[in-house]
């Protein structure tokens, strides 16, 4: 049985079947798009702590502000993608392992949490989505609550 936390239209974590004591099916959604299209097997000993760290950073507003004020989220994404310095690394987001290695993703605070992402892998299952920039905007506390609730379930399920 799958349990959903959050809203697919903004950000959601869907916890699915147990694959082994340390692996669980986890689907991540943002802006109505499934981010975990190629690999949704989460290795819980590293996935759960990464989720908790991200949630804490967002809840404490320890996410950088918009790097290019006055620009659209899509323009911000393009500028960060073009940057070849360590500057863009400050905006990397959802560093949760291989489940998201087909998606370029950044986040910043602009009142709300703004998550901008694009699928880069040529074999992405939805051809029209490749290269398209997607934007999800939600209150930081809503994001943190969603992630922490899913992490709690994953922690409980992994010790059974």
Helix (H) or strand (E) holding 47: helix 44-59
Block means of pLDDT (10 residues each) for the chain, 160 residues, are 95 94 94 90 95 98 97 96 94 92 93 94 61 94 98 73
Name the DSSP letter for residue 21.
T
Q: What is the DSSP string of 74-93?
A: HHHHHHHHH--SGGGGGGB-
pLDDT of residue 160: 47
């Amino acid at each position: 049985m799958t349990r959903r936390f959050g809203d697919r239209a903004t950000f959601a974590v869907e916890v699915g079947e147990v694959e082994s004591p340390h692996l669980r099916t986890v689907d991540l959604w943002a802006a109505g798009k499934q981010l975990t299209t190629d690999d949704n097997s989460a290795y819980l000993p590293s996935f759960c702590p990464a989720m908790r760290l991200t949630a804490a950073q967002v809840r404490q507003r320890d996410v950088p502000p918009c790097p290019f004020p006055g620009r659209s989220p899509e323009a911000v994404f393009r500028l960060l993608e073009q940057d070849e310095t360590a500057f863009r690394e400050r905006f990397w987001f959802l560093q949760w392992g291989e489940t998201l290695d087909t998606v370029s993703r950044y986040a910043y605070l602009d009142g709300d949490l703004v998550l901008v992402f694009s699928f880069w892998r040529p074999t992405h299952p939805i051809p029209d989505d490749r290269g398209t920039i997607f934007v999800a905007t939600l209150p930081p506390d809503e994001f943190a609550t969603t992630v922490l609730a899913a992490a709690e379930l994953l922690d409980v399920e992994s010790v059974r």
